[in-house]
Structure 1
Amino acid sequence: MFIHTRKLQYNAKPDRPDPIMARKLQEALGGQWGEITGMLSYLTQGWGSSGSEKYKDLLLDTGTEEIGHVEMISTMIAYLLEGAPTSITEEEAKKDPALAAVLGGMDPEHAIVHGLTAGLTNPNGVSWNAGYATSSGNLVADMRFNVVRESQARTQVSRLYHMTEDKGVQDMLKFLLARETQHQLQFMKAQEELEEKYGVVVPGNMKDIEHQEFSHTIMSFSDGQGSRAFEGQIAKDGEKFTYQEHPEAMGEVPVFKHTHPNLHNDQG
C-alpha cells in the first residue's frame, strides 16, 4: 500500500524557467539509469524477495523513496517548462535569436505530447522501457545491479549539476547526489554480506558442474597484454588467476544438414 503526501521529499523549484534544462533532466527521469529504473527495480526485487526481511525492507524502503524522486524531477521539469514557447513561427524565430535558441534546444514532445509537463522518456523522446529494470530473484546479482544503477545515476546527476547555474535546480541535484551516495553504500554493504553467505560468484552452487580448468584463466583476445598484470593475483574466491597468451579454438567446425528446399536458402 502506498500513501501520498502532497509535500515533496525535498525542494524541487528552479529560480527561473529553462526548457532546455527541462529536456536534459529527462535523462535522470526516464533514461536507462534514471529514477524510474531505480524505482521499479528495487520495488520488484523487494516484492519478490522471500529471504531475509532485512534485505526485503531495504529494497522496499529505497524503491518507495525513488517514487518521491520521480515526483521531484517531474515537478522540476514542469516548473522549468512554465512559460515555454508553444507557437513560435519561423518568422518570429528569425527576428529573435534568443527565442530561436530556446526553440532549437527544447524537446517538442514537452509541448506536443505532454502539455509542458514531464514525460516518461529520455531527452530524445525515447520511451522508458521495462528492459532497463532488473529483478532476477538472486539477491547477490540484484544488489550488484543496484550498485551499478546508483553509480550510473550519480554520474549523470553530477554531469547535470555542471550544466546549469540555476541555484534551485542545483539544490535539488545536491540532494539527489547525497541520496545516491547513501544508496550506493547500503547496496554495497548488502552485497558484501550476501557474498559472505553465498559466495562471490553468482550463482554459488554450480562450481562442481562447470569446467573448472577454464574458470580462472584470463584469455588474451587482443593485441595488448595489459591484462597479464592479473596473472598470479588472488581472485575474490581465493583462487589464483592464470594467463593464456594464445587462446586455442577447441571446438569443432560446425556442419549443418541442408535446409528444406521450400526455404529457398540457396546455400550452395
Structure 2
Amino acid sequence: MARYTVLDLAAWKKSGKPFAMLTAYDSTMASVFDQAGVPILLVGDSAGNNFLGHENTIPVTLDELISLSRAVVKGSERALVIADLPFGSYEASTQLALESSIRLLKEAGVAGVKLEGGVRVCEQVRALVNSGIPVMGHLGMTPQSVNAFGGFKVQGRDSKADEIIKDALALQEAGAFAIVLELIPAKLAKEITETLSIPTIGIGAGINCDGQVLVWTDLMGLTPKPPRFSRAYLNLRQEMAEAVGRWVLDVESGSFPSAKESFD
C-alpha cells in the first residue's frame, strides 16, 4: 500500500476524523508503530533527551537527524515520515533552511520537515513550500526555545494567546500543511483549530486538536518522569528491567545458553 500523504491529513481535517502521530528514532520501533497503524511518524529532535542522552533538544545535529530519519523511513512502509529541522539548521536564512531540508529529503527519504516558530520563520516556510517541500509548523512550548522560556512551561496564557493565534494564521498563509500545538491551554488550542483550515496536532493542548502526538517512550512507560500531558499504556521500563534481570541471573547461574540455544 502507498504511504499516507499530506493530502490525507487535509481530508481528515475536513471530515473531522482525529488522527495520531508518534515519534520514532529507529527502524525497529518504526516498523512496530507502522504495523500498529500509526499514520504519521515524527523523527523529532526530541531524540536528544529521549534517545541520545542530552538534557534537551538543542544539541541535536542535522547529521544525527538524517541518520535517524533514514532508519525510520526504512523501517516503515505506510506511515508519512516527517523530520524535525534541528536548532541551528534553519533560523539564519531561507537558504540554510532550504539546504537542510533538501538533505533530509534526499539523504533520509522523509516526506516533509517540521520547524519551530511563527511569524519569524514564515519566510523560510514560504521558501521551502515554493521548492516543493511540505512543512509542518510548531507553536506554543517550542523546545528549541527552552532557554528563552526559562524551562518547559505552558505558553499562551493571558495576552500571549493572541500572539500564538497570529503565528498560526501566518504559518497557514505561508503554506504550512499542519501545525503542532504544544503545551498551550485547551481553550486556546480549540480556538486555533476552529480558526485554521489546516490540521492542528496537539501535545499537551487538550482534546480539540485535529490530531494528537506523543513521544513514544512516554507512551510506553519508559520515561522515568513523564510529562503530565502523556499517558503510559505500558510499564515497559519495569518489564524490560525485570526481563534483563532474569537473563543476567541465567547467565550467572550457567543456565544460559542451554542445549536448545547451542549448535553441534
Q: Same fold (TM over 0.5)?
A: no
Larger Cα-atom Rg: 1
Please state which structure has a larger fraction of its residues in helix.
1
Name the one with the larger strand percent: 2
Q: Report the TM-score, using the length of structure 1 for normalisation.
A: 0.24
Structure 2 length as normaliser, TM-score? 0.24
